[in-house]
Each structure stands twice: as structure tokens, then as C-alpha cells.
Amino acid sequence: MNFLFLNSARRGWGGNEKWTKMAAEALGAKHAVMLAYRDQAIGDRIDVEKVRLPFRWEFDSTTISSLVRLVRQKNIDILIPTKRKDYVIAGLVCRLTGAANILRLGIDRPLKNTLIQRLIFGTLTDGVIVNADKIRQTLARSSWFDTGKVRVIYNGIDRERLELDSGNPYEKPFPFTIGAAGALIPRKGFDFLIRAFARFTSGNQSATDSGLVIAGAGPERDSLEQLAADLGVSARVRFAGHLTNPYPMMRACDLFVSASQSEGLANVLLESMALRCVPISTLSGGADELIEDGKNGFLVHYGDEEQLAEIFDKLYRNRDQVES
């Protein structure tokens, strides 16, 4: 079969882009696969045939006409869009060409009963890939949505590549290191994480060798640094910025936290578990489909700083549990 992935991101490398790379390159082993993209930095990292397009907005005539020609020239069977703008563009192209529009949804959000949502997830969509059953359940709460279109395909990881990429030297910043990574935006919950860390350190005066490392870039960095300073933990909260290869840092951590308000199934949880960190996650998206609380990781309600601080304290006092 012939596949065409769409990614209209203007900048940055996140979960959608990581999934697109893995899915496109894996399918490329047996099928013809292409990528239509906007940002050169994203296109350069995905090893399939590709074309760069403007993706200015949902009804961008230049992008739509270019894609229609491409679909017809390359006999594309399936388009796989990964972002909201792409959903509309891919849907229109598919209705003009007869190809199938199978969109990928990687975050747990209820559908609103609006004209645009009905257009995207009804009229223009032939199928929906989600990465957690929790997302399927949320979609099913919209009575107008056809859940027969949904298939749950969990995120995967390339263990061999992960082992290779994580092998670079990295000096552990604190004897007891709590790690986190992601775009520094409100949805990712880094303010909640910093407050919980501050609560943990204030409640355990002996935990002077503990610290928090946050990898990632974004508009919230200044406010998060100020929050750490206001809480008196700035010397023990390290902002690592964007890391092209975050895996040596992740391997060095004792615990790894996904503190998001909403997710699908965070790649960082899968990766941290493969790198033998103790995973801790908010009950967002499909986290409880991966983590059995207290057995292979820990689950916490978003915003419950006391609960998260108690988990940090428990694991700090029981290092053998972390190491095992």
C-alpha cells in the first residue's frame, strides 16, 4: 500500500513527530511511504520520501492542490494526519481523490458537539488511530461519533536504538535525581511537579542530595524558574533546555515523572521504564493502562502535591525499591 503522513508543525519535536517517524519508517520497510511536512528540522529527521508544503491554515489552497496532485501521481491509498490542521486538509484531499483519511489522535480530550468537530471526526474521517483505550472511551461519550472508526494502537519504542542513544556519558546531577521532560507549556504540569518537589524537600530535611532535572524548551521556562526561586529550590531544580538526545539524562535519573494535565500515552513513560527509571505519572490519558500503581510505577492525581511529595519521600527513604 501507499501511505502519506502529514505534519504541519511549525517548529519543535514532540510526541506526534516521534510517533510519525517511527510509524513512517516502520511502514516503509514493506510499503511506499511519504511525508508532507512544514518545518525543515522535522523533515530532516524522518527518513522517508518527502515534500515540503506551506500548511498555512486548514483551507490552504496551495497545500490542498499540491497534495491532490501528489496523491494522484503516487497512487496514495491512505493519508495519516497527526494535527488538527492536518485533519481538515487530509479530509478534503481524500474526499477529492478517493483516498482514505486515517487520522491519529494522541491526547485524551472530549469532542465538542460543534460543526467543525462533526466535520473533522465525522464527514472527513474514515478512521481514527488512538494510543490509549482511555481516548477511545472519551470519544465514545460523544453520541454523534462513530466509535467503529477507532482502533487502539499503543505507542512503541525502538529498544535497540534507545539503548544505543542512552549510552553516551552523562554526569548524574544529584545523588537522588528526579527527571522530567517535555515542552514547557501549561498542559505538561511542570509547575505542579516543582511545587510537589519543594513540598518533598521541606518535609524531609535529610534529602539535601536530591534534585529535579527538567529537559525541554518552551514559553513557560521563565515562569517556572521564578517559581523554583520563590519556593526556595532553584539550586536543586535544573533546567536542561532542549536535548536532541535526552536519553543519557533519562538513564541517569532515579525517578521519571509525567505530570501532565492531559495526555494520550506519554512516550516518556515507555522510554523511562525501558531505561529502568521508576515511572510516576498523573492519571492522564492511558497512564493506568501502562502502570499498575505501586507495582511497576506510581500514579497520582494531577494537582495533588501532597500525594506526589509523599511518593518522592517514600522512594527516597527506600532506595532499594528504586534500584530494584
Q: Examine the domain organization and report whether 152 and 183 are in the same domain.
A: no
- What is the mean pLDDT for each group of 10 consecutive residues in the chain (324 residues)? 96 86 96 97 95 97 98 98 96 98 95 94 97 96 95 92 90 96 95 98 94 96 98 97 93 96 90 94 94 95 98 92 66
pLDDT, position 324? 56
Q: Examine the domain organization and report whether 116 and 233 are in the same domain.
A: no
pLDDT, position 323? 65
Look up the CATH number of the domain holding residue 84. Answer: 3.40.50.2000
**Which of 125, 156, 187 is the last residue before a domain boundary?**
156
Q: Examine the domain organization and report whether 184 and 207 are in the same domain.
A: yes
Q: Examine the domain organization and report whether 51 and 84 are in the same domain.
A: yes
Q: Are 313 and 292 in contact (CB under 8 A)?
A: no
* Torsion of Cα atoms, 182 then 185 then 187 then 189, to 10°: 70
Q: Examine the domain organization and report whether 199 and 234 are in the same domain.
A: yes
pLDDT, position 156? 87
Q: Examine the domain organization and report whether 149 and 206 are in the same domain.
A: no
Return the bridge partners of 37, or none: 7, 52
Q: Is 241 left (phi over 0), alpha (psi -120 to 50) or beta?
A: left
- Interhelix angle for 84-97 vs 61-74, to 10°? 50
Q: Examine the domain organization and report whether 266 and 242 are in the same domain.
A: yes
Q: Which of 56, 1, 60, 75 is nearest to 31 (CA)?
A: 1
Phi, psi for residue 218 in degrees, rounded to 5: 160, 175
pLDDT, position 319? 79
pLDDT, position 143? 93
**Which of 129, 156, 183 is the last residue before a domain boundary?**
156
User: Which residue range forms the structural domain that includes residue 54?
Assistant: 2-156
Q: Examine the domain organization and report whether 15 and 150 are in the same domain.
A: yes
Q: Examine the domain organization and report whether 234 and 129 are in the same domain.
A: no
| pTM flag (> 0.85) | yes
pLDDT, position 234? 97
Q: Examine the domain organization and report whether 32 and 110 are in the same domain.
A: yes
Q: Examine the domain organization and report whether 109 and 174 are in the same domain.
A: no
Q: Examine the domain organization and report whether 165 and 279 are in the same domain.
A: yes
Give the number of domains in the chain: 2
* Torsion of Cα atoms, 143 then 146 then 151 then 152, to 10°: -10
Q: Are 182 and 260 in contact (CB under 8 A)?
A: yes
**Which of 156, 191, 210 is the last residue before a domain boundary?**
156
pLDDT, position 158? 87
